Structure 1
């Protein structure tokens, strides 16, 4: 079949990858010269440990398998099975971690000495950490180009950036240059861009948009062998919900800045040695057009407490927006026409789950 993908982010690119792997010819259109949305403005985390039981965890586990197999073919992804440590600094946080059943997530409670053995860069004061051996990371700024380069080498793929799709026809799509692109199936993977043609083709889309702030530092000067999260991450991920978390929320409120910006600390080392740190969450539109400094002050304080040293100088700051499906769905997947589907709204799971989401789309669409 001839498959046309609208959207150059990780979700669209994984749909292209899956279609080519199944023997189809693929053209991928992107309205920007290069993907510039949430797919490159993230931690590059393949995050299994915090996922909710049921479809979300099943999707993350399958995606984790797929990421590793794809990385064998595409070294440029920068895939590494580094695991993660959610560092616990209070008895209330320890109780939440202790209550969390493994449930196939490969979670282990470590005391402080075991944490420092696994990640010597963590020299701060803490009780221990929850280790997830399934968590991994890739390089978000280079993952899509690396995948496209490998796709192009297979001879069944074309990348057409700088094209905005203006209309859907029975034969395919027409772009903003007036050029037609014929396809047997069109997959719209437009991320948080829910206006334009997507808005015309849908009504009451069950998807909201979420804005976040992040940053990157100068090189740490030593390896950070695992991804790192703080205790506030227990409030954010559904795997940790339960009586112990309710008790923690009642007795250990977030600092005012963290609560106001719906914050957690996540920290991942990039291949150049720098750290990606974040993040915040804003849910009410219209979003601000600027970034605010007080969340970064909070991140520096928390990161320094875990590292036992000041955070390296921040050299980049940015904000991003992702689409989140309502009702706890892993993704919003819907048929728009006989020859077209919309796939959007994976939320903060996009980088983690995109290979498995694409696999499921291919199955449902009969590819």
Structure 2
């Protein structure tokens, strides 16, 4: 090992990272920017999991108070810095509006706005006129919305290649796609091409792939489950959607809104059968090409279906159209995705040393795109990069 280029007091290491989703790529970012060399292996030719099958949201508003919110806030800062260095990630500080239409929903919003950390999240109440001024594309009928100025977005389908290109330009990053790892031991990774890679540290960021090698290394009882979702993307909307948008069903799925008002909402205003059956909320964000990504559903019981179900899409498009006050553009793509989620809701991620110098990092759940920069930073600090 040699001294790093950035700081002569830092001893440069060779870091082996398995998995090129958001979590693995942001670990590579921190290793390279701290002066280390990275060899990055990915089983597919390009990441195809939840890291690219998502909204690209950097979602601060709904995070649980405490460690989760702190991680999201730190990640939001890091995403903005990364976006300044790598414009290709498509970072934009667009904020979000969570739109409410009933008094019970308004009560949940007011309770959240009265919380001690509402200001830190950039939360404010906007009446209906204020909503339309902030986001003129919303022409439907609603009472108002919770504005969260700290929420942001990145372009999920192009962010990871943009980050890799930037890292490769340093000369200290090598991406090896189409390499499935067969064996991991301290300082060594062997892939299915028969090649052996050696380094000082190994990080496994394999996403929802929790069987095979991961199970062998982590042992039984890995405290992580898999969650399946359905989403879609439309043709371009013919005007800007100036913020990300959520409906009030999102209150039911984000811990920041827990409280007596939410309990009353659940008791007195049940979701429609399709939304309840598929554990749905509406999230909507505009991509850089103008198209709208909409979702999503939550399915927890495996085995998951191999096909997608049409009823949730009907509900999503109808709800989005109600908020926009007009029909949605044609749906261009539909897909399902699976992510890994810690079974302990108090944990942002499961980080486990599975052998000397070998770390498994998994289970951020639906927070992966939001929190990956801060999770990678925490891993780097814990390992001592």
TM-score by length of 2: 0.95
Which whole-Å CA distance do the structure 2 matches of 1:142 and 1:2 have between them? Answer: 26
Which whole-Å CA distance do the structure 1 matches of 2:94 and 2:50 have between them? Answer: 22
CA contact (8 A) 2:80 2:91 kept: yes
Q: Note the aligned Cα RMSD (angstroms).
A: 0.6
Find out whether 1:262 has 2:279 as its counterpart: yes
Superposed, 1:66-77 pairs within 5 Å as 66-77=78-89
Find out whether 1:64 has 2:76 as its counterpart: yes
One of 339, 363, 367 as aligned partner of 2:381: 363
Superposed, 1:168-207 pairs within 5 Å as 168-203=184-219, 204-207=221-224
CA contact (8 A) 2:185 2:358 kept: no
Which whole-Å CA distance do the structure 2 matches of 1:191 and 1:157 have between them? Answer: 21
Structure 1 residues 32-76: Cα deviation after superposition (integer angstroms, max 9, x where no partner): 000000000000000000000000000000000000001110000
CA contact (8 A) 2:208 2:339 kept: yes
Which residue of the partner structure matches residue 174 of structure 2? 158
Which whole-Å CA distance do the structure 2 matches of 1:252 and 1:161 have between them? Answer: 48
Which residue of the partner structure matches residue 305 of structure 2? 288
Unmatched runs of 5 consecutive residues or more in structure 1: none
Find out whether 1:227 has 2:239 as its counterpart: no
Which whole-Å CA distance do the structure 1 matches of 2:268 and 2:71 have between them? Answer: 34
Structure 1 residues 292-351: Cα deviation after superposition (integer angstroms, max 9, x where no partner): 000000011101110000111101000000000111110000001111000000000000
CA contact (8 A) 2:185 2:355 kept: no
Which residue of the partner structure matches residue 95 of structure 1? 107
Unmatched runs of 5 consecutive residues or more in structure 2: 1-12
Which whole-Å CA distance do the structure 2 matches of 1:347 and 1:275 have between them? Answer: 22
One of 57, 62, 73 as aligned partner of 1:50: 62
Structure 1 residues 214-267: Cα deviation after superposition (integer angstroms, max 9, x where no partner): 000011110000000001001010000000000011110000000000000000
Find out whether 1:277 has 2:294 as its counterpart: yes
Q: How many residues end up aligned between the 2 structures?
A: 367
Which whole-Å CA distance do the structure 1 matches of 2:85 and 2:188 have between them? Answer: 31
Which residue of the partner structure matches residue 269 of structure 2? 252
Which residue of the partner structure matches residue 124 of structure 2? 108
Structure 1 residues 91-139: Cα deviation after superposition (integer angstroms, max 9, x where no partner): 1111100001215211001000000000000000000000000000000
Q: CA deviation at 1:178?
A: 1.2
TM-score by length of 1: 0.99
Q: CA deviation at 1:177?
A: 1.2
Q: CA deviation at 1:170?
A: 3.1
Partner secondary structure for residue 131 of structure 1? strand
